Structures are given as C-alpha cells and as structure tokens.
Amino acid sequence: MNTSRITRLQERMAADGIDHTVISTGADLLYLIGYSTMPLERITALSVPVEGDAVLFVPRLEAPRVPEGVVEVVAWDELDDPIGMLADRCKASDAIAIGDHMWSVFLIRLLERLDDPRLVPASELTRRLREVKDEKEIDALRRAGAAVDRVLARLPEEFPFEGRTERQVAEDLRRMVVEEGHDEAWFAIVAAGPNGASPHHEPGDRVISRGDVVVCDFGGTLDGYYSDVTRTFSVGELSEKAREVHALVHQANIAARDAVRPGVPCQEIDRTARRVIEEAGYGEWFIHRTGHGIGLEVHEHPYIVEGNTEELAPGNAFSIEPGIYLPGEFGVRIEDIVVCATDGADSLNNAPRDLVVVG
C-alpha cells in the first residue's frame, strides 16, 4: 500500500541510487501521505524503501489521527524502541535520504545503529516532485492568492493607516486573511517609514503618520497551501523620490513576470528584475533574491536567485518580489505569486500594483 506520490518518490530514489528514505514531520510528510503533526520528542517517521511498502512509525497516542488506508502504520508504545525499529528497516541500505526537517537527535541516534551509510537530504528527491504542482495544488494556491487579493481590496476602505500602529494594522491583516477564507494567517509584515528598509521587519509600536511609505507583506494557508503577497502603500501624498522608487520596483516586477516561460533558468528571472533596478542606479539597495517557490511551505524550491540554473517548468509556483530598501528612509516591495504556464506567467495575485494612496 503506497500513495502515488510515494511511488514517484521511489522512482526518483531508484534513478539516484538511494536505497531508503526517512521522512520525519514537515511538509514532505504532508505531501507524501496527507498527514501532518507537531514535531515533538516522540518520533514520527515515514520509512520508504526503494522497493516495497512504506511504513509510518507513529507514537501510539497519535495513531488515531493518521488517515486510514493511505500507508501501513506501525504505532509504537512508550516502552518500544522506535529508532531501533527504524534502523532495522534501513540496515541494509548503502545510501539513505533523510528528511530536511528531521531532528538531529533522531538522526544521531539512528546513525549509531547503522553501518556508515551515505546520506543525502531528502529534498534532493522530494523537491523534484513538489516543485511541479498538479492542478489541485494550483487551484488551492489560486484560491489563496484570490483571498489575499480581496484583503488588499478591502484595505484602503476599511480603516485608516494614519494614527494606528504597525502592530494594529498587522492584526487587522491577519484577521482579514482568515475572514477571506484562509485556515490560518501565518505572517503579516507591516513596515512604516524607515522600518520599511528592513525587508522582514517585525511590526511594532511605530504610529503610522502622513507621508509614510508602508510595506504590507502577509499570507497564510488555505487547504494547506500558502499565500504570500506584498503591496506598498502611501499614507497621503508622497515625495518625488518615493514615487520614483515605487515606479521602478513596479517596472522590475513587470519585467520579471514577462520573462517567465518554461525553459528559462531561474537565475534569468532574478537577473531581469535586477537589471531594471541596477540600470536606474539602485542596484545596491535590492538586497535579496527575486523570489522563492511556494506550496505547502511558504519558502521552498525553486529559488529565483543568481546561481540557480534550473530551468522553469510548467507547474512551478513561485514569488516575484523585487524591492528597494533605503536605510533611514523607506522601503518598497511588490510581490506576486505566479505559476509558470506553457505560455508564460499565470499570476495568482492580481490586486493593483500601482501605488495606492491611503488615509
């Protein structure tokens, strides 16, 4: 009894010469068998041999939560030795793929029982599967994208930015993300004025005031799949410089989106966005990669970054999020999630990208 995704993993393992894969908690487990659980000191581990049935080891008390009829389940009791049970299954393996999120304590204890196998991160295998989204996955991503677009549409009308703290606006964003259909809101960056120059700013007590540029970057999960969108707002009218920088980032966003096509190396999308910003003299202030893959994790392969020569393929889902960060002044970022389709980028975020003036 194996899921079709486990079968595809086994095909990859055979091609790469991997005898066994061990996946603990995390997105790979969710992807392969539709089960997720908290990472705790009692080990949960999916053992996948290159041939034959996979087995999921779970603590007895968590076994009732495992979906039935998906994979063979071995529930271990408090006095059992689950690492020993796992080691028995892996014993004859020369090469083992280990889940990226397996705790080192489990891996160290497992290795004590094995005869020095070659180890590789399981993501070398699973990324090849997870990077190419199927229709159901794209549908979930699309619904998540549409939901955060609806939040953006409500934003300028529902409350003023001026006079409220970043934290208050962030709380509103999280609430609206859930109201619009997400199961959970996972993050909301609200960075006003000079705070915007820190791309991952933690919203704080800064009171938003007239003239501020405000970066809002937020998202959550809907049916397990992430949204992640950024728009930059202007509280009242802006300085000429802020307008110019926003227009530039917008241009970089469009150029990168237009460059998306199957067969184009990931780094070429990054270069396209960066070229626009560099040519205008702001290159040193675009301090991060252009994007990241997205799916069951908010950041996953493929990464849209210099050095990644991997070619885009239909079904890849990733962000395009150029930004310019001017220390002591402000920041601007415009982020969309796109899917690589056969004829170009299919944008899952379509909220206006122009500078929106709010009260």
Q: In angstroms, give the least distance from the CB of 250 to Zn ion.
A: 16
Among candidate residues 317, 312, 351, the one with its CA nearest the CA of residue 337: 317
d(CA 318, CA 298): 9
Neighbours of 275 (CB within 10 A): 15
Regarding 172 and contact with Zn ion (CB under 5 A), the answer is: no
Query: Rg (Cα) of the chain, in Å, rounded?
Result: 23
Q: In angstroms, give the least distance from the CB of 288 to Zn ion.
A: 7
Regarding 300 and contact with Zn ion (CB under 5 A), the answer is: no
Q: In angstroms, give the least distance from the CB of 217 to Zn ion.
A: 4
Quick one: CA dihedral 16, 20, 23, 29, positive or negative? positive
CA angle (104 as vertex; 100, 107 as ends), nearest 5: 85
Question: Could you tell me which residues come within 8 angstroms of residue 49 by beta carbon, excluding any fewer than 6 positions away?
Answer: 10, 19, 20, 89
Among candidate residues 22, 2, 21, the one with its CA nearest the CA of residue 72: 2
Q: In angstroms, give the least distance from the CB of 219 to Zn ion.
A: 6
For Zn ion, the closer of residues 193 and 323 by Cβ is 323
28, 166, 228, 268: which one contacts Zn ion (CB under 5 A)? Answer: 228
For Zn ion, the closer of residues 12 and 289 by Cβ is 289
d(CA 323, CA 330): 11
CA angle (38 as vertex; 36, 39 as ends), nearest 5: 110
For Zn ion, the closer of residues 198 and 251 by Cβ is 198
89, 319, 320, 324: which one contacts Zn ion (CB under 5 A)? Answer: 319
Which of the ranges 143-151, 238-246, 313-321, 347-355 carries the binding residues for Zn ion, by CB under 5 A?
A: 313-321
Regarding 217 and contact with Zn ion (CB under 5 A), the answer is: yes
For Zn ion, the closer of residues 19 and 172 by Cβ is 172
Q: In angstroms, give the least distance from the CB of 90 to Zn ion.
A: 36
Regarding 126 and contact with Zn ion (CB under 5 A), the answer is: no
Q: In angstroms, give the least distance from the CB of 4 to Zn ion.
A: 30
User: Which residues sit at the interface with Zn ion, rule CB under 5 A?
Assistant: 217, 228, 230, 319, 335
